[in-house]
């Protein structure tokens, strides 16, 4: 719009100069009626040109204002769209974090609520190896009848050995159970160590032949 206005003023420049010249000539010939009429006509044209220029200036200003307002609206819409996108992204992240926290809390509660039996204080100590000859057998556990067969037990509760003849147990470890006593103790092997362990701390997983037992660990 500014460029058009400049072009218009340039176009009007020669006409304004021509009118001025005519006015100068008219002043020299004030008594000539023809010059008087020409001067009046030139002044009328000049006023018309000024009026047109004023109208064009108003229209150009209004157009520029409208363009600026439209650009501001578009910019505002882009900013609002970006803010909404960021808000949606952060809301999704918060939902994921809340879900993870809920799952972690549930898992912790489940672990804390899991039974963790301990050996009764009145439980007798494990028998000595001299006392078990011919007394204990795998057949005393869940109908196992093969005297040459051991069974594999998985540790489901940790246990800290209280003497040299006992085994340390860690959850997830496997123990080859060889003998099960009638006083809640079992004799077995874990990680190349032999000893006694609380039988209630392991669960049977599979049966292993005596000839293959040493290959498990």
What CATH number is associated with residue 179?
2.30.30.40
Please tell me whether residues 91 and 18 are part of one structural domain. yes
Please tell me whether residues 71 and 159 are part of one structural domain. no
Q: Give pLDDT tens digits for 52-96.
A: 888 988 888 888 888 888 889 899 889 999 999 998 999 999 999
Please tell me whether residues 99 and 169 are part of one structural domain. no
Please tell me whether residues 156 and 72 are part of one structural domain. no
- For the ranges 69-73, 165-169, 204-208, the lowest mean pLDDT is seen at 204-208
Please tell me whether residues 162 and 75 are part of one structural domain. no
Residue 163 placed within a domain: yes
Please tell me whether residues 11 and 109 are part of one structural domain. yes
Q: Give pLDDT tens digits for 88-134.
A: 999 999 999 999 998 998 888 888 776 655 544 455 666 655 555 44
Q: Is 190 exposed, middle or buried (0-12, 13-18, 19+ CB in 10 A)?
A: buried
State the pLDDT at residue 38. Answer: 80
State the pLDDT at residue 184. Answer: 85
State the pLDDT at residue 164. Answer: 87
This prediction's pTM: 0.34
- Enclosing domain of residue 21: 7-114
Domain count, the chain: 2
Report yes or no: 17 and 47 within 8 Å, Cβ to Cβ.
no
Please tell me whether residues 178 and 82 are part of one structural domain. no
């Amino acid at each position: 719009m500014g460029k058009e206005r400049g072009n218009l003023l340039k176009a009007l420049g020669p006409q304004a100069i021509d009118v001025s010249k005519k006015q100068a000539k008219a002043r020299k010939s004030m008594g000539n009626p023809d010059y008087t009429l020409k001067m009046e006509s030139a002044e009328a044209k000049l006023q018309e040109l000024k009026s047109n220029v004023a109208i064009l200036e108003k229209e150009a200003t209004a157009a520029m204002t409208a363009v600026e307002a439209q650009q501001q609206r578009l910019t505002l819409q882009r900013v609002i769209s970006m803010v909404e996108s960021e808000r949606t992204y952060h809301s999704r992240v918060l939902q994921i974090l809340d879900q993870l926290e809920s799952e972690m809390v549930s898992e912790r509660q489940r672990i804390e609520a899991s039974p963790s039996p301990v050996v009764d204080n009145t439980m007798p100590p494990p028998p000595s190896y001299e006392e078990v000859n011919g007394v204990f057998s795998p057949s005393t556990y869940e109908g196992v009848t093969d005297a040459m067969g051991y069974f594999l037990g998985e540790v489901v509760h940790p246990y800290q050995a209280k003497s040299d003849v006992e085994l340390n147990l860690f959850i997830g470890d496997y123990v080859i159970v060889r003998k099960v006593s009638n006083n809640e103790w079992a004799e077995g092997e874990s990680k190349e160590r032999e000893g006694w362990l609380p039988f209630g701390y392991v669960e049977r997983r599979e049966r292993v032949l005596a000839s293959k037992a040493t290959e498990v660990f």
